[in-house]
Amino acid sequence: MKKTLILCLFLCATYVVFSQRISPLSRPSDSLKTEPFINTIEQSMKFFYADYLKQSNYDSIISALKYEPKDLPTFSDEVYCQRLEEMSQRTPFHMDCNPTTLSTLKFFVDQRRQFTRIILGRAPLYFDLFKDKLAEYGLPIELRFLAVIESGLRPQIKSKAGALGLWQFMYKTGLYFGLEENSYVDERMDPDKATDAACRFLKQLYGIYGDWNLALAAYNAGPGNVNKAIVKSGNKKTYWEVRPFLPKETQGYVPNFIAAAYMLTYHAEHNIIPMEAKTHNAQLDTICLNKGVHMESVALVANWDLSEIKEFNPIYKTTFIPKSEKGRCLSGPLDKIYLVIHLEDSLYAIEKQKYGRYVAPIPPPKVLDTLIKNDSIKNLVPINQYQYYTVKAGDKINVIAQTYKVTIDELTEWNKLSSPNLYVGQSLTIKKAAVPAPVPTPKPVVTPKPVVTPKPVVTPKPPKPTPPPPPQKKYYSVKSGDNFSQVARKNNLTFEELKKLNPGINVNTVYIGQKLRIK
């Protein structure tokens, strides 16, 4: 409950701040300087997401069941039916346990283990979005499993019949629910807009049939085919009574949905460990652009891999993001969108200089190579004043500071760190040091010297070696407002290193004028 409250407060504050930044009227020109409060929120959110992504219960279940990595658990029909009944108690869906369902479920258990692993790895990117939209329309959250059997959670997948996107909309159905398509954009591939359309479609179908399984059948085959099957069945009103009269593909649709829902609910009991998730939906942010740009320009200004930009923005058919009265939006990881927001003016300057007007659909070849070599364009992008370091396991802030020849205080200020603790994967901003141009040394004026007869050289006796002086201790006098951590950072030491130099010191209480050994 406490974590949920903290997350809500952070999200509210972040929403307000970023909504203000996105507005052209309130956003300043290019700048990477922000209010300390906002930077504190952003750093806190990074820590929260890092902890949030680690939360799971499958490890504890697998450990409790004492599974070995190669174990392939199976269960009796009674266990499968009991679990399906428990699922039915938590949802308005009827997870019916019958020979057809059991046969499909066992096929998934035996033949779809790798598929389940892959889906569980993709789920963090989409399932939170699905849950929010389903809750908005008052629909069962189990409907998120429908996108699993429709597309395998791949927004760019297209069926032989022409259905496209996470929810596999046909062209005409997509238009009916307001999904735009043109030469540059296909909103059937937009996760947010397509999910919203799917929710409206499913709610409409349930309103027609009053049975979720029949609504799923109509989603797959179309209401016309379901209506014909109902008539042929003698006007029956449940899916299983109508099923024999449905198209062959639709006869397996609901059993597949139930099997997928089962596998994603009980994957730990079947010793299935999810593939590692690359990104969680909570780590994404969005900026809506008011001019057309190429993704290549975005890649340059935000130091962002082009393939990743395309991956997070499947709505665009090409790498060109066209201008729109409503504004075309760009989604991606928080840190990348943060850079685009603050360097939006530079983004448009690069776009205009390289492509001219904001309508060119196809970028010239080797755009990035050309841009990088063009010094005049480099000067337009303040981001080149910075470099970035991704924290790895075992990294310490003092070692990173020494490597880049900066101080801990500078690292703390540039990244608005509230403590010297770092987490794996954290991106640190490091300002590049200005390298002064070499000053030409004037050639000395050579004047001829008179010839002098050299005197015999007397070699002096080497002096006796003097022993090196003992290492000198160096101390820091505590000032007003100092604490133990601040003293460590000021002297390029970690908390533990300073503690070792001062054994017996109470690190929680230091007083003004107290001498702390720092060398």
Active site residues: 150
Phi and psi dihedrals of 73, rounded to 5? -65, 140
Phi and psi dihedrals of 105, rounded to 5? -60, -45
CA separation for the pair 59, 510 (Å, rounded):
43
CA separation for the pair 96, 166 (Å, rounded):
26
Phi and psi dihedrals of 509, rounded to 5? -135, 110
**Cα–Cα nearest to 371, from 389, 388, 349, 390:** 349
CA 3, 7, 10, 12 torsion-angle sign = negative
CA separation for the pair 397, 104 (Å, rounded):
53
Q: Please, are residues 259 and 107 in contact by the beta-carbon 8 Å criterion?
A: yes
Phi and psi dihedrals of 288, rounded to 5? -100, 120
H/E element, 32: none
The residues, ordered by sequence, that sit 6+ positions from 158 with a Cβ below 8 Å of its Cβ are 164
Phi and psi dihedrals of 158, rounded to 5? -130, 130
CA distances from 104 to 132, 261, 262 (A): 29, 12, 11
Q: Show the tokens assigned to 158.
A: 């297209």
CA 351, 357, 359, 363 torsion-angle sign = negative
Q: Please, are residues 293 and 358 in contact by the beta-carbon 8 Å criterion?
A: yes
